[in-house]
Amino acid sequence: MTDSDNNNPQTTEDQSTNFKVEVATRYMESDSSPDEDRFVFAYTVTILNQGETPARLLTRHWVITHGNGRTQEVRGDGVLGEQPRIKPGEGYQYTSGTILETPMGTMGGSYQMVTDDGKEFDASIPEFLLSTPRTLH
């Protein structure tokens, strides 16, 4: 069995902060158990600083919606135990995952950021689709 890539990375750009967030998703068939309503997805996030001011990612807020309408909210410090500082013209990339109880759902949210001079802002994470292969026709 192989894991499946979605062909359409999803992107959003927060014009007020010049931070662009791109997300690519992958269904992890080998880790999933459809008979047990367990659908595992990996997602790779790329955060690009297209502005002129460095900023540190402090916290994250995710809204995960399963295909049956159930919603989960996840909040935490940083990403993968880090609070990266992203300089102008640079980016930060990481891969994480989530488990849905349905073959399709969505995720989205925001990163809470702070510039070197203390200005706090949210960088939006686009709502993106998580779906198993052949779910959408």
Distances (CA, A) of 73 to 10, 45, 104, 133: 20, 18, 17, 25
> pTM of this prediction?
0.85
Question: In the CATH scheme, what architecture does the domain 4-125 have?
Answer: Sandwich (2.60)
Burial class (CB in 10 A: 0-12, 13-18, 19+), 21: buried
Section 54-70 average pLDDT: 97
Domain spans, the chain: 4-125
The span from the CA of 56 to the CA of 28, in Å, is: 30
- pLDDT per position as a tens digit, 74-106: 999 999 999 999 999 999 999 999 999 999 999
Section 4-30 average pLDDT: 72
Distances (CA, A) of 62 to 88, 94, 98, 124, 137: 25, 15, 11, 10, 27
